[in-house]
Structure 1
Amino acid sequence: MGEHDLHPSEIAIIVPYLDGALRYMLGNAFREAGLPYYLLRRRSSPRDEPRVRAWLTWLALAHPDWQLPPSPFDVAEALTLSISGLDAARAELLTERLYQPEVPQLLPIAELPAPIESRVGTLFVGLFEEIRLWLAAQDETASIDQFLHSLFTLLSERRFQPEPDVAGAAVCDWLVQAATRLRHSAAAIGLNTPAAVGNAFIDGINQGLVTANPPELGDPPDPNGMMISTIYGYLLAGKPVRVQVWLETAATGWWDIPNQPLSNAFVLAQSYDPSQPWTMDNDFHIRNQLLSRIVRGLTARCADGVLLATSDLDRRGVRQDGPLWRALQPVR
């Protein structure tokens, strides 16, 4: 980048899909290289935010009478997000030995064998026990918003999080507001017990709640970093840049459209003749048309050039030879 006087904020990385595995790999690579970056994501369900899942896990464990036992994976994830420096492997060891999902409850650290305690570390085991005791001491009649505020106060202390958790504060604020609104409207919608309110709150989020007031999920964006975005996310909200990097250009994701036989947006359009069946030829034509528009839209937002990056095999080991890659062969 130095040779071309190119700043990271002048680069956009475009991918057809941005799943958790790809976010993890790109994030690790950029952190190791010391390059700032941020994810340009459209609003997503709160359940997609790990911190939301973690705090709902602690809420369910503090109220076993709600009969919403978290899975061992949820408990391990909550531990890694609540205790700074605790990796997934050691969190899983603690969960295997000290979590009973059938109750559900966390067991005291006296039940932990000495070799396991040595592997996990005395400090982490002590913080686990502090969370367990705190959960056991909670008043089950307290409102959800009060519980979440107290939980954030505990987990913000330096022994749990040495650095301020800005993203966690935003998630907490949204959860507290959502819980407060539910509490105020609970009687009107027939939720007359704390257990009914708690079940509605947790189930609503876990089942993919769509809210009119979505939280700012994830870490705050770095305005000086490289933008990482999906195709349509960038076309809808991305700013023009000097250089774009298109990843997975041999993948069919650049050409695919959602398989929605019962809610096909093209068939349901008022301009479509309902007497005409939707055929494979129609589908093929629309896919090519959309791909052409994607290419024109992306290149119109790029000043200097586009870098193409791909692999012969996808992450499953399947050979990739998508329409975009074939169309670009003459210009390679």
Structure 2
Amino acid sequence: MKDRSAQIPTNSQQQAADLFDHPSIFFSGPASSGKTNAALLRLQNILTTANQGSALVLVPQRSLAEPYHLLLREMNLSEGERVSIQTMSSLVRRMISLFWPVVSSHQVFKHPYEAPRFLTLETSQYYMAQIVRPMIDQGRFNNVTLPPFRLYSQIIDNLNKSALVGFPHTEIGQRLSSAFIGDASRQNVFKDVQEAVNQFRDYCLANNLVDYSLQVELFCQFLWPNQTFQKYISNQFAHLIYDNAEEDPPYVHDIVSQWLPGLKSALIIHDDQAGYRSFLGADPLSSLTLAKHCQYSLVTTANFVSSAPLQELRNCFQDIRSCQPSQVLIRQTIGFPAKRLRFFPELLEELIVQIGEIRANPGGKDKKIAILAPYVSDSLRFSLTHNLESLGLKVSIQKPSSSLLQDSVIKTLVLLSKFAHPVWKMPVSFLDTAVALTNSIAGLDLNRAHLILGSFDQLNPYLNSLPEPVISERIPSELIERYKVLREWLLSTDSNEPLDSFLSRLFGEVLSQPGFQFEGKVQAGTSTAVLMESFQKFSLSLDQRLHVDQNLASLAFIEAIDSGLISALYLSDWDSQIDYDILIAPVMSYLMRNEPVDYQFWLNIGSKGWYERLEQPLTHPIVLSRNWQEGKQWTADDETAYNQANLQRTLSGLLLRCKEKVFAFTSDYNEVGVEERGQLLTLFQNLFRKAIRSQNER
């Protein structure tokens, strides 16, 4: 086991780790200042001191719990053995399930004596779709143009915000409407949103469905105030370590503030200039209020990751007007392409060259590199992965929530599932079938896949089943045999077999075998597991008729995926432990990963995506927060102020997580052929001008 006391050099960290002299501490500071390391030492002290009771480690999302899991492995302890590592969401769900008789006694649900069915992000979208589709057919939501499941997810997001912030869900439409400035006809859309929210909540209460928003409301209103529950939770946990409190919504801070007096000890960690999950309800200002509920407040300004020049660069970005950068500082901290890049493919080529040069330097093969952009499209992800893996580099990809069908492995499994279930009557296009075959059979290219499938009717280019293979001299015999193996296996399946069992057998008995594409590919196994888990959670929330009939349950799930079902975040043990040379991630996803690297490549610095909110016409994370004055209108000035603060917060977080150098890349025309001149590009240009002016004045 590591001796973590050797890694705690500052007085503030030692105090944070001190269990007895400082039982209740609010510890704040910038990222990479050793706060989590102090928390690990404190947890180690709890676990190695007799008669201290159990501890709860609370994190805003599961990916941030990895350092604590690592400590338990080092101490040869399993989770649950004197320590529990959870998010508040997971704790709330477990407690509602455990104390369901207490919750149901309040007669909120139509069937209080029946067990609840908990909804995931996917299943919430499924049930919301049952409500919104008829409304769309009636001409509602006609002033917005969104893919169906984006529309559903934004309505669900509104409902979640009301619970996380703590206002009635019946006020959502009014709050959005009162802040909106624009076409008066858009006001009707907010009325549609409110009606959809109301119908969804009524449907949940009538059918014992518990979505995320309802979990939070039930916990806060009925379970947390209950004396029996209070005795139980007090006996369960004597100590609390709450890391990254700024990334949680206000209701969590409310609960923790009321919890603190009854704990033996508590350490609350707050990152300054963070709150990257504000679009999910994170509230750093609310987190700061926890300081007044603690006995001690500690502040650190240390940084154990970024170099002194990078910290100076960070200060310049925070206050460009008073900054006096030198050209030496620029050369030490910022890398640039060797030439002007006109088109985006040239940028990617130069990126690969620069990475190759870093790797060629002494010790370069041990350096971690992150490639970051506001958005990482499928084409960018594929191009980078293909080029980097061809150089023998291990690539890890961080994906935000997206449609399940954007994963090529999942799309292949879904298409093959349709061929195995002809009773569904879900034909697949000829082209999609050919692509699925190339993703399934090793050595099969698109041209030979077309040859195997034979000719097709151009007026109706769809297939209901995989046809007999067309024999041709242009197709190697081993490819024909592999196609036959796959086809015969699909024809032999039982349509009533549960879909997760079918997918497991398809992966294990065919696609991961020699001669097929999934052989030896961990990511293919991970994607298959995600699809299986998604179906399992989906089927649990279905009504009894669909839940019993596995064929109907499978069909409902596949139809939902075809409609663009947005995936929840699935985190497996091997995801968090995977070793890599290059990490490719959207900027915000990387920041929430909270992992330092040696070099960062910032792509498309001209993009407005570095600071602008995503276009969400049906919701607004700031207007629906506690920090917004109800009834106040959201103006262009508010948007500008938000963008500037968001850019500063983003740049600060990135530089605090970089050890040696950042590389700023842009091209005259971006990935889709558009010129971009955003604030970040302007900020770099101002920095360079000031450096040149400073040099000339000398």
Aligned residue among 50, 73, 97 for 2:455 = 97
Once residues 186 and 269 of structure 1 are traced to their aligned partners in structure 2, the CA distance between those partners, rounded to angstroms, is: 32
Shift of 1:298: 0.8
CA deviations over 1:82-125 (Å, ceiling 9, x no partner): 1112233433454563798656122212xx3x6xx344433323
Partner of 2:683: 327
Greater mean alpha carbon deviation, residues 158-167 or residues 211-220: 211-220
Shift of 1:242: 2.4
Once residues 656 and 671 of structure 2 are traced to their aligned partners in structure 1, the CA distance between those partners, rounded to angstroms, is: 30
Once residues 217 and 118 of structure 1 are traced to their aligned partners in structure 2, the CA distance between those partners, rounded to angstroms, is: 46
Partner of 1:27: 385
Are the aligned partners of 1:13 and 1:246 in contact in 2 as well (CA < 8 Å)?
yes
Work out whether 1:139 is the aligned partner of 2:494. Answer: yes
Alignment-mate amino acid for residue 129 of structure 1? K
Give the secondary structure class of the aligned counterpart of 2:485. Answer: helix
Work out whether 1:166 is the aligned partner of 2:522. Answer: yes
Aligned residue among 372, 375, 380 for 1:14 = 372
CA deviations over 1:241-272 (Å, ceiling 9, x no partner): 22211111122221321122331111112221
Give the secondary structure class of the aligned counterpart of 1:168. Answer: helix
Work out whether 1:302 is the aligned partner of 2:658. Answer: yes
Alignment-mate amino acid for residue 38 of structure 1? S
Aligned residue among 51, 69, 72 for 2:427 = 69
Aligned residue among 199, 202, 205 for 2:558 = 202
Once residues 314 and 277 of structure 1 are traced to their aligned partners in structure 2, the CA distance between those partners, rounded to angstroms, is: 34
Once residues 220 and 268 of structure 1 are traced to their aligned partners in structure 2, the CA distance between those partners, rounded to angstroms, is: 32
Q: Please tell me the root mean square deviation across aligned C-alpha atoms, in Å.
A: 3.1
Are the aligned partners of 2:668 and 2:675 in contact in 1 as well (CA < 8 Å)?
yes
Once residues 532 and 591 of structure 2 are traced to their aligned partners in structure 1, the CA distance between those partners, rounded to angstroms, is: 33
Residue-pair matches, total: 327
Once residues 384 and 574 of structure 2 are traced to their aligned partners in structure 1, the CA distance between those partners, rounded to angstroms, is: 15
Are the aligned partners of 1:13 and 1:227 in contact in 2 as well (CA < 8 Å)?
yes
Shift of 1:236: 0.7
Q: 1:21 to 1:93 in 2, by over 3 A?
A: farther
CA deviations over 1:116-144 (Å, ceiling 9, x no partner): x3444333233223322222232334333
Aligned counterparts, 1:200-279, within 5 A: 200-209=556-565, 214=570, 222-279=578-635
Are the aligned partners of 1:68 and 1:199 in contact in 2 as well (CA < 8 Å)?
no
Give the secondary structure class of the aligned counterpart of 2:479. Answer: helix
Partner of 1:3: 361
Once residues 257 and 185 of structure 1 are traced to their aligned partners in structure 2, the CA distance between those partners, rounded to angstroms, is: 33
Work out whether 1:82 is the aligned partner of 2:437. Answer: no
Give the secondary structure class of the aligned counterpart of 1:106. Answer: coil
Aligned residue among 414, 418, 429 for 1:60 = 418
Q: 1:103 to 1:293 in 2, by over 3 A?
A: closer
Partner of 2:332: none
Alignment-mate amino acid for residue 281 of structure 1? D
Are the aligned partners of 2:405 and 2:562 in contact in 1 as well (CA < 8 Å)?
yes
> Could you list the runs of 5+ residues in structure 1 that have no partner in the other structure?
none
Greater mean alpha carbon deviation, residues 184-193 or residues 266-275: 184-193
Once residues 12 and 82 of structure 1 are traced to their aligned partners in structure 2, the CA distance between those partners, rounded to angstroms, is: 30
Alignment-mate amino acid for residue 136 of structure 1? L
Are the aligned partners of 1:69 and 1:103 in contact in 2 as well (CA < 8 Å)?
yes
Shift of 1:320: 2.1
CA deviations over 1:271-309 (Å, ceiling 9, x no partner): 212332111221122112211111111111112221111
Q: Percent identity?
A: 28
Once residues 169 and 194 of structure 1 are traced to their aligned partners in structure 2, the CA distance between those partners, rounded to angstroms, is: 23
Once residues 13 and 271 of structure 1 are traced to their aligned partners in structure 2, the CA distance between those partners, rounded to angstroms, is: 34
- TM-score norm. by structure 2 comes to 0.43
Once residues 49 and 85 of structure 1 are traced to their aligned partners in structure 2, the CA distance between those partners, rounded to angstroms, is: 20
Once residues 531 and 611 of structure 2 are traced to their aligned partners in structure 1, the CA distance between those partners, rounded to angstroms, is: 37
Shift of 1:65: 1.4
Alignment-mate amino acid for residue 50 of structure 1? S
Shift of 1:225: 0.9
Give the secondary structure class of the aligned counterpart of 2:384. Answer: helix
Are the aligned partners of 2:370 and 2:597 in contact in 1 as well (CA < 8 Å)?
yes
Shift of 1:48: 2.9
Give the secondary structure class of the aligned counterpart of 2:601. Answer: strand
Shift of 1:231: 0.7
Once residues 538 and 594 of structure 2 are traced to their aligned partners in structure 1, the CA distance between those partners, rounded to angstroms, is: 35
Alignment-mate amino acid for residue 322 of structure 1? G
- TM-score norm. by structure 1 comes to 0.84
Once residues 451 and 439 of structure 2 are traced to their aligned partners in structure 1, the CA distance between those partners, rounded to angstroms, is: 15
Structure of higher RCO (CA pairs closer than 8 Å, 6+ residues apart)? 1
Shift of 1:54: 1.2
Once residues 209 and 218 of structure 1 are traced to their aligned partners in structure 2, the CA distance between those partners, rounded to angstroms, is: 24
CA deviations over 1:206-245 (Å, ceiling 9, x no partner): 3454677836599997514122211101111141122211
Alignment-mate amino acid for residue 455 of structure 2? R
Shift of 1:185: 7.0
